[in-house]
Amino acid sequence: MMKPIILTTVAGLCMATAATAETPVLTVMTYDSFTSEWGPGPAVEAAFEDTCACDLQFVGAGDGAALLARLQLEGPRTEADVVLGLDTNLTAAARVTGLFAPHGVTADLALPIAWDDAEFLPFDWGYFAFVGNAGADAPTSLRALADSDIKVVIQDPRSSTPGLGLLMWVKAAYGDDAGQIWADLADNIVTVTPGWSEAYGLFLEGEADAALSYTTSPAYHLIAEEDDSKVAWAFDEGHYMQVEVAGKVASTDVPELADQFLAFMVGDVFQTIIPTTNWMYPATTTVDGLPEGFDTLITPAKALLMSPEDALAARPAALDEWRNALSQ
Amino acid sequence: MAQRPVTINPTKPGGIAVGLVLALTLGTLGAVAWRADWGCGLGAADWAAVRFTVTQALVSAGLSCLLAIPVARALARRRFWGRSVLVTLLGAPFLLPVIVAVLGLLAVFGRNGILNDALGALGLPEVSIYGFHGVVLAHVFFNLPLVTRLILQGWLSIPAERFRLAASLDAPVGRLLERPMLRTVLPPAFLIVFLICLTSFAVALTLGGGPRATTVELAIYQALRFDFDLGRAAMLASIQFGLCSIAAALAWRMTAVDGFGAGLDRSVDRWDGSRWGDAVVIALVATFLLVPLIMVIVRGVPGLLELPADILRAALRSVTIAIISAALCIGLTLALALRGGRIVGLVGVLPLASSSLVVGTGLFLLVYPIVNPAKLALVVTALVNAVLALPFALRSVAPAVDKITSDYARLGAILDMSTWVWTTRVILPRLRRPLGFAAGLAAALSMGDLGVIALFAGDAQETLPLAMYRLMGAYRMDAAAGAALVLLVLSFALFWICDRGGRVDADL
């Protein structure tokens, strides 16, 4: 066993040195759907490689939570130079690992909230929302949904980022009364799925009147499928936000290239790719504005978001509340 | 395990296989535990998850076994047109990726499914599939066919001469032949299904209707993915192994030793049982298992046109992994089955109790310091899939080897057969049927697996199930349904080719 291992290591080292001698490689670790054929990955790669004289390589790793777990598994020896795709429910835990360096980018961000984070820089954002069928009964608040007999599918906050988003939404909107809201919502919840895909799939199959998704989901159906039958429900309590961020890995061997990528990420080219590939709002105002169809989306009057540190601290108790209320 | 009067089976490859399985199951758990920062222990919610997991696994396994007995008996007693196709088709639910099967079940039993449409038309109230009963229903859907196949093999292993004798003496077949046979076949089959349900995650969560239906596997997933609490994940995985050992020990105590002796390998003719009763049983179970599959096909056909070109490469990759994995699995199975003994019995069920996420994470930790995991993705996936399919393959092959050994070992010893001649002339020809079934199962299970590849795969190593999930994640549900159909057809084709190959001249 020993010999092949040593040989592979030596071969690996040789190849690594050979590669750095030619074109520098920037490794960006991100979630799967970013790098897929329909995601922003291919266009971003082509555009950045036009300007950087480098080779941009994506490493896909499940969803946002899997991304952080993967980085923690790899530790300081990671080959990743940039991690792209964490959200504010994960950044506090990510910061504690000490694996990230300050990004040093100042950008003119167009988020509905103030942003000040030395390590993590947003590349897109969206509002969580229940997405249902146009023309059907649409509740106007979480409270109204809980009091109705409308059926919804949600994701498990223990295995899914949108699921965790809803948990924080209810907590941010109702504080100490969150447990009561969950108890009242229990009979509206058809089932809890492991991830977003299963929940949205069940909704499209007609298993529920709505699924927890994003206010931008109807834009996909409208633009990609020319189907205007899906709408997001606007809720009076406000909508919880998801802000997706990237960070520079402290142990990167190409720090200048990583800085260059982060600056490129908040630039016009990257940001224009986002809306119709990642189906989220760009983090900065683009020259051409939003694509046609985005103007039909609901714009929540109030944006809710806990700070990363508050979100991390609130999670264990909120999870217990959720579990107890839905286990009755 | 049957007592062997004479030992002429090879043992060395068996030792290597035992080592490999232990390394991939307990070894990977060790790697995770070693990297863990040990914090607080398990909370009340974890114990609730353990209780739910065990309860649903017991009920699901019990019900699957109870229902499989009449089905297997009906299939063993009757010869009819299309029987062999039906026997093969019954394997299909077991081979499907979980989410595909769940969507198929929902198309029948869901709020918007065929059943509720029919009830609605008759003015009857809606039934909900979500809850404990939904979890059990899905597990029975998955596992009833497997148990049926395993019991059917038991039925067919009763020598034809015994049935002739019973018929000519007008003796009760059920008490004298069938009950003893079931005592040897049922406990291991129950154990297998119990363990499959023990590590269920997506089925339990999606159909369970909420956090009440939390399984240990979900708790492991949460610990690894959201909390990065390796210590808790390792503890929960140890609990799964503990439950597995207890269940295995109980199943062994209850398993009787096969005492039918050797026959002349003649085909079985039966003179007992009600023809109509058997027909009803077969029709009911075929409807229950095949209608959801038909729904998967119906949903998938329109999506075929929307599939991206890349899907072909993903499919090819999956088929390659499946074939390598099946070959590895058959090698391991033969090595273990020929070695025999208690340790093989335990090794044969350990992979079932292991969480694929823990195996993947442990392997990642072991491999990462040495080589980029993405380089090994396909090799590791083939190997892990082979080991995960091992329990099923072994369950099918080991009893056959034991029986051949107890029937013919003395003869082999008298003829002074070498290990090579014994293996190639006596064992292998008699193992074609179980080996074909095992290879088919291993190949098909590997096709549908999503466990390890998701952690290891780089960009250019997408397999078919991964491609399907990525399509779903990109709103492309129709294309995903098309990919699911391709997956179903390919898995099934692989299974069919191997399974048919194994019984090309047989009567099953």
pLDDT at B503 (0 to 100): 61
* Chain A residues lying within 8 Å of B455, measured CB to CB: 61-62, 70
Residue that has been written with the tokens 């006596």 in this structure: B426
Shared domain check, B365 and B218: no
Shared domain check, A322 and A183: yes
Average pLDDT taken over every residue of chain A: 89
Shared domain check, A145 and A17: no
Shared domain check, A211 and A306: yes
Whole-structure pTM value? 0.84
Domain count of chain A? 2
Whether A205 and B374 lie within 8 Å, measured CB to CB: no
pLDDT band at A85 (very low <50, low <70, confident <90, very high): very high
Q: What is the DSSP letter of B462?
A: -
Shared domain check, B117 and B12: no
* Chain B residues lying within 8 Å of A36, measured CB to CB: 470, 473-474
Select from B330, B398, B9, B428 the least CA-distant residue to B185: B398
* Domain interval for residue A154: 127-241+300-326
**B41 assigned to some structural domain:** no
How much is the ipTM here?
A: 0.80
* Chain A residues lying within 8 Å of B226, measured CB to CB: 65, 69, 158-159, 164
Contacts 24+ apart (CB under 8 A), A171-175: A171/A306, A171/A314, A171/A318, A172/A240, A172/A304, A172/A305, A172/A306, A173/A142, A173/A237, A173/A238, A173/A240, A173/A304, A174/A142, A174/A237
pLDDT band at B445 (very low <50, low <70, confident <90, very high): confident
Q: C-alpha distances in angstroms, A253 versus A26, A75, A102, A261, A265?
A: 9, 15, 15, 14, 19
Q: B51 vs B380, which has greater pLDDT?
A: B51
Report residue A118 as tokens: 């030395």
Shared domain check, B234 and B125: yes
pLDDT reading at B96 higher than 80:
no
Which residue in A66, A207, A327 is closest to B110 by CB distance?
A207
Q: B459 vs B168, which has greater pLDDT?
A: B168
**Beta bridge partners of residue B15, listed in sequence order:** none
Which CATH number goes with the domain that contains A174?
3.40.190.10
Shared domain check, B482 and B350: yes
pLDDT at A15 (0 to 100): 45
Whether A158 and B221 lie within 8 Å, measured CB to CB: yes
Whether B368 and A204 lie within 8 Å, measured CB to CB: no
A-B CB pairs within 8 A amount to 147
Whether B469 and A197 lie within 8 Å, measured CB to CB: yes
Shared domain check, A18 and A82: yes
d(CA B386, CA B332): 8
Which residue in A72, A197, A224 is closest to B472 by CB distance?
A197
Q: Is A155 helix (H, G, I), strand (E, B) or coil?
A: strand
Shared domain check, B60 and B31: no
Shared domain check, A215 and A161: yes
Chain A: give the shortest CA distance to residue B370, in Å. Answer: 6
Q: What is the DSSP string of B279-297?
A: HHHHHHHHHHHHHHHHHHH
Shared domain check, B217 and B88: yes
pLDDT, one tens digit per residue, over A95-108 is: 999 999 999 898 89
d(CA A87, CA A308): 9
* Chain B residues lying within 8 Å of A59, measured CB to CB: 374, 458-459
pLDDT, one tens digit per residue, over B117-153 is: 889 888 888 888 888 889 999 999 989 988 998 888 7
Which residue in A69, A151, A193 is closest to B228 by CB distance?
A69
Shared domain check, A311 and A182: yes
pLDDT at B458 (0 to 100): 60
* Chain A residues lying within 8 Å of B473, measured CB to CB: 32-33, 36, 195-197
Q: Which residue of A has its CA nearest to B230?
A: A73
Q: C-alpha distances in angstroms, B257 versus A257, A268, B1, B3, B162?
A: 68, 74, 7, 9, 17
Other Cβ atoms within 10 Å of B340 Cβ, number: 20
pLDDT reading at A16 higher than 50:
no
**B274 assigned to some structural domain:** no
Which residue in B45, B222, B228 is closest to A159 by CB distance?
B222
Chain A: give the shortest CA distance to residue B247, in Å. Answer: 28
Shared domain check, A103 and A143: no
Shared domain check, B318 and B218: no
Other Cβ atoms within 10 Å of B309 Cβ, number: 7
Q: C-alpha distances in angstroms, A125 versus A109, A161, A240, A280?
A: 11, 13, 11, 6
Q: Which residue of B has its CA nearest to A324?
A: B211
* Chain B residues lying within 8 Å of A190, measured CB to CB: 111, 130, 209
Which residue in A37, A194, A201 is closest to B308 by CB distance?
A37
Whether B111 and A60 lie within 8 Å, measured CB to CB: no
Report residue B155 as tokens: 């039925």
Q: C-alpha distances in angstroms, B347 versus B18, B28, B305, B395?
A: 7, 15, 44, 12
Q: A60 vs A125, which has greater pLDDT?
A: A125
In which element (H, E) is residue A153 found? strand A152-155
* Domain interval for residue B105: 50-157+176-258
pLDDT at B74 (0 to 100): 87
d(CA B22, CA A71): 27
pLDDT at B54 (0 to 100): 92
**B1 assigned to some structural domain:** yes
* Chain A residues lying within 8 Å of B224, measured CB to CB: 69
Other Cβ atoms within 10 Å of A73 Cβ, number: 20
pLDDT, one tens digit per residue, over A241-255 is: 999 999 999 999 999
Which residue in A57, A65, A201 is closest to B225 by CB distance?
A65
- The CA angle B451-B333-B248, to the nearest 5 degrees, is 75
Q: How many percent of chain B have pLDDT more than 70?
A: 89
Whether B201 and A5 lie within 8 Å, measured CB to CB: no
**B218 assigned to some structural domain:** yes
Whether A70 and B455 lie within 8 Å, measured CB to CB: yes
pLDDT reading at B408 higher than 70:
yes
**B331 assigned to some structural domain:** yes
pLDDT, one tens digit per residue, over A144-201 is: 999 999 999 999 998 888 999 999 999 999 999 999 999 999 999 999 988 898 899 8
